Amino acid sequence: MRINSQNLYFVSAATVAAELHKAMIVAREISLTASNARALALRAGHGAAGFRALTEFIDELARKTINTSKEINIEAVKMSRTASETARARSALERFKAAYSKGHGNRYLSSIDDAFLKTKTHHQHLEHHFRDQIYTLTNRLGELGRELRTATVLAAMSRVEASASGKEFENSLNVIAENVAQAAERIQTHVKRSQTLFADLALD
């Protein structure tokens, strides 16, 4: 781990938390949009029955985004803690090495061997655990990204269903479909930024 890595990981975790918070805000907007769409589709009657069914999928997508973002955020905090522990273990190893160097030839130097080996093993374990956390979080973000691509399909289907609802409601339903598409795109942007941050993290 580089000297400034600990700060890098804390900043990255905080940035990811901020990006996912923004994603959750947009997801809540989608959920509200789905509620408005259901109300409008009910007013439109039989012609908007297909659109009404789609609003359930839109709402479910919003819920998944909110829940997954919360879970990823919790894991990101755990990751930053692991990074902190790894940095401390690495610092301890450096002090042990300095002691070995300065105390070369000292007959009591071997008394720190056991502590050194335990610290070295602990450091290796932390590094491995940190890489696992990065891998898990990257995969979770990938899953979320794939879920969000569904929104583009839903928006396209919503436009088709809007056209069958009758002239009185078609424009309003199209606006809702467009809002869903734009909101999903905004969430994707936040998710991609988070993915980039995790992809750039690496332990030397």
Q: What residue spans define the domains of the chain? A: 5-102+109-200
pLDDT tens track for 116-170: 999 999 999 998 998 888 888 888 888 888 877 777 777 777 777 777 776 777 7
Q: Which of 23, 28, 54 is nearest to 160 (CA)?
A: 54
Which residues neighbour 120 within 8 Å (Cβ) at sequence distance 6 or greater? 93
Q: What is the dihedral of CA 30, 35, 41, 45, to 10 degrees?
A: 160
> In this structure, are residues 135 and 175 in contact, taking their beta carbons and an 8 Å threshold?
no
If DSSP codes are grouped into helix, strand and coil, which group holds residue 107?
coil
Tokens for 89, please give them: 């273990």
Q: Report if pTM > 0.75.
A: no
pLDDT of residue 66: 84
pLDDT tens track for 91-121: 899 999 999 988 888 888 889 999 999 999 9
Query: Mean pLDDT for the chain?
Result: 80
Tell me: pLDDT of 202 over 60: no
pLDDT of residue 204: 43
Tell me: pLDDT of 7 over 80: no
pLDDT of residue 17: 76
Region 27-51: mean pLDDT is 79
Backbone φ and ψ for 90, nearest 5 degrees, come out as -65, -40
DSSP code at position 202:
-
Region 32-40: mean pLDDT is 80
Lowest mean pLDDT among 10-19, 36-45, 101-110: 10-19
pLDDT of residue 92: 93
Confidence of residue 64 (pLDDT cuts 50, 70, 90): confident
More confident residue, 47 or 111: 111
